[in-house]
Amino acid sequence: MPDVPEQPAVFQTLDRTAKFPYPKHDYLRRLLWLLVQATVYRASPGRAYGWRRWLLRLFGAKMGISAAVRGDTCIMHPWLFEMGDWSALGGGVTVYNLGMVRIGNHTLVSQDVYLCAGSHDYRQPTLPLTKPPITIGNGVWICAGAFVCPGVTIGDNSVIGARSVVSSDMPRGVVAAGNPCRVIKQRETSTPALAAAQRPGTDAGSPEPPLSPPPFGEG
């Protein structure tokens, strides 16, 4: 009788994973948000940024002045989402925020970016959920199709190249790209106007922002 090969031991025991890993009240508001996001949020006109800001705030998001979010974005938990003044999410962006996702002021997250603030602890057989936050600074540009991993912080004024996989923190004021994402060079963040505003004795002021949202290029 031929020897039967020994079956390798299986480390993961998915039959023992938590069936309901969230508080009970979360399931109700998640259901309500899914219904809203699939209907009046997604079907709203392209430039109805104010309407989508209102819906997100209704579900607990903190949205800054003229923060612009496209209707085909997917935000899992609005109550774990903060977005600063004049920042924007492009089309097809996914915010998988089991943990908090914070986006600063004047930051652009381009189309099809995936912000993944949630994972599983692979070191434990039951793969429990983990919820490391993502923090994106002010004046950041995350280019199309990038993937930002759980627990990552991206410093102010940095640029993340298209299709990059950001698996570790990025410093401020750099251009970075690749898989894994690495710093390529410093970003030139000094302009004559900014330098003049920062000189001692200069009245930099805080002009009233215009009323129109930041453009996405659509009509």
Active-site hit among 25, 77, 106, 120: 120
Q: Is 120 a catalytic residue?
A: yes
Residues 174 and 187 sit within 8 Å (Cβ to Cβ): yes
CA-wise closest residue to 154 among 94, 52, 24, 146: 146
**Amino acid letter, residue 23:** P
Residues tagged active-site: 120
